[in-house]
Amino acid sequence: MGMTLTEKLLAAHCGRDSVRPGEIVNAALDLVICHEVTTPPAVEMLEKLGITKVWDPSKILVTPDHFVPAKDLRSAELASALRAWREAQGITRYYEVGNHGICHALAPEQGHVLPGQTIVCGDSHTTTMGALGTFATGIGSTDLAAALATGELWFKVPETLRIDLAGRLPFGVYSKDLILALIARIGVDGARYMAMEYGGPGLAGLSMEARFTLTNMAIEAGGKNGIMPADAVARAYVEERTDAPYTVFEADEDAAYAGRHALDLAALEPMVALPSLPSNGRFIGEVPPERMDQVYIGSCTNGRLEDLRIAASILKGNKVAPGTRAIVVPATTAVWKQALREGLLEIFTDAGCVVSTPTCGACLGGHMGVLGPGERCLSTTNRNFVGRMGSTKSLVYLASPATAAATAIAGVIADPRDYLAKPDLLDAGTDLVAAGADDCLWGV
């Protein structure tokens, strides 16, 4: 019997011809990513054991991202512990504040993620990087310590849930809407312990940045990893960034899947996940136009350049509604700089948004827009759990950057299709999205 993409990758990394779901294997790791929240505890564990050297400094990437620049004294201590450790270990793939980014966006953007790799990070959204045909999964600090010391880690080979995509996204509908629709269908534990493998003809029409949003939120369905084949789009993305060699794996035709879901992209509409579970997704037409105190555009889910271009194309020439605050947080320094060059930051600030330096920020209730009691926020992040962005009495609604931008202008949850220029009316060269993004964004 054949193997799924995840099974192929794990087999190759434990020196076996094949592996089966349920088996426990020890897999070699190609990249370990470290940020300031979960790494210092791992480093302390290693120090206690007298392990003073990591297994291979060249296979480790370090960036502070959660509370940067340091939000308080304790975060400063974590960041300086991270800094001192990476210096002592001679880890050169280091992105200091000023060059930093949310690790799941930064690592692929800077060419560190290659198809065929195994990647771990002490962070649940590590699944993001599977969009490049890698096995990437989140771990805790003990796992991280073991990974840093030995360069390998135990994994229970997951069953695979196959997601077959067909068609193209309609006007005003994005990959965030797709993943929210999928999670609404299968639930927050619909893929618990499983690999979520995306495939099918609908994939080809999605840009790389759009794809990262799909694998990013695999964890919101309980998935161990999200993965998709490294097709021409993925390979072009990688080769623009690095000339390092890599291996492309494919699922076998006769691979065994624990389940299959088919999604017709053309049938989707903008989605909003109501508080307080990511699976509470509704078509926007069914969502009451609740007033929003805050709109947040950013995170490892939707803080990439394409996301900012879409939001800016809606906010251009408009104003954020009185009574609503809009906060834009580019995911990485490179995104921030490019947004500056393209004039996006000016559009945001002219509209009355705050633009922050890259950080996880308010996504996890850290800083840069924490919610007070009774406040409502429409956010492009990935979790709307109780208290996730601040007060346990605040409410978080999840949606795409387009819906977020439309909502910022309206002050109430709004349908982005009422604010986007219709594709046939686009004046080529003047519209930001047409100028910068793939045509697939428009579904034309």
CB atoms within 10 A of CB 412: 18
The one of other proteins, ligand SF4, none whose footprint includes residue 102, by CB under 5 to 8 A per kind, is ligand SF4
Q: 30-51 b/e with 16+ CB inside 10 Å = b?
A: bbbbbbbbbbbbbbebbeeeeb
- CA–CA separation, 326 and 351 (whole Å): 9
Under the criterion CB under 6 A, does residue 360 sit at the interface with ligand SF4? yes
Paired residues of 272 in beta bridges: 282
Q: Which of 28, 45, 97, 354 binds other proteins (CB under 8 A)?
A: 45
At 106, phi and psi to the nearest 5? -70, -45
* CB of 275 vs other proteins, minimal distance in Å: 13
CA distance 149 to 142: 11
Distance CA 212, CA 207 (A): 9
| Minimum separation from the CB atom of position 125 to ligand SF4 (A) | 5
Please enumerate in sequence order all residues whose Cβ is within 8 A of that of 208, keeping only pairs 6 or more positions apart, or say none: 131, 132, 233, 234, 237
Residues in a beta bridge with 133: none
Coil, helix or strand at residue 125:
helix
State which amino acid sits at residue 206: L
For 230, list phi and psi in degrees, rounded to 5.
-80, 90
Does the protein bind ligand SF4 through residue 100 (CB under 6 A)?
no
Binding-site string for other proteins from residue 357 to residue 396, where x marks contact by CB under 8 A and - marks none:
-------xxx----------------x-xxxx---x----
Shortest Å, Cβ 102 to ligand SF4: 5
C-alpha 279 chain-centroid distance: 17
- Within residues 287-326, the interface with ligand SF4 by CB under 6 A covers 299-300
3-state secondary structure at position 313 = helix
CA distances from 226 to 103, 134, 138, 162, 195 (A): 16, 9, 11, 10, 6
With CB under 8 A as the contact rule, the residue among 74, 260, 291, 319 that binds other proteins is 74
Choose among ligand SF4, other proteins, none what residue 67 binds, the Cβ cut-off being 5 to 8 Å by kind.
other proteins
- Residue 191 or 210 with smaller CB distance to other proteins: 191
Q: What angle do the packed helices 344-351 and 333-341 form, to 10 degrees? A: 80
Token reading at 39 = 């790494």
State which residue, 4 or 313, has the beta carbon closest to other proteins: 4
Report how far Cα 121 is from the mean position of its chain's Cα atoms. Answer: 13
**Burial degree of 149 (CB within 10 A; 0-12, 13-18, 19+):** middle
Task: Answer with the entry of other proteins, ligand SF4, none that 250 interacts with (C-beta below 5 to 8 A by kind).
Answer: none
Q: Would you say 3 or 43 has its CB closer to other proteins? A: 43
* Number of chain residues interacting with other proteins (CB under 8 A): 53
Which pair of structure tokens corresponds to residue 214?
């799909």
130 binds other proteins (CB under 8 A): no
**Residue 126, SS3 per DSSP:** helix
Binding-site member from 21, 115, 116, 122 for other proteins (CB under 8 A): 122
| Residue of 19, 29, 54, 255 interacting with other proteins (CB under 8 A) | 54
Q: How far apart are CA 213 and CA 230, in angstroms?
A: 16
102 sits near ligand SF4 (criterion: CB under 6 A): yes
Q: Which is nearer to other proteins, 115 or 298 (CB)?
A: 298
Q: Is 40 in the site for other proteins (CB under 8 A)?
A: yes
Q: What's the closest the beta carbon of residue 264 comes to other proteins, in angstroms?
A: 28
Asked if residue 382 binds ligand SF4 (CB under 6 A), the reply is yes
Nearer to ligand SF4, 364 or 437 (CB): 364
Q: Which lies closer to ligand SF4 via its Cβ, residue 110 or residue 382?
A: 382
Asked if 364 touches ligand SF4 (CB under 6 A), the answer is yes
User: 4 touches which of other proteins, ligand SF4, none (CB within 5 to 8 A by kind)?
Assistant: none
Nearer to other proteins, 155 or 336 (CB): 155
Binding site for other proteins (CB under 8 A): 24, 37-38, 40-41, 44-45, 49-55, 66-67, 71-72, 74-75, 77-78, 122-124, 126, 138-143, 145-146, 149-150, 154, 188-189, 192-193, 222, 224, 277, 364-366, 383, 385-388, 392
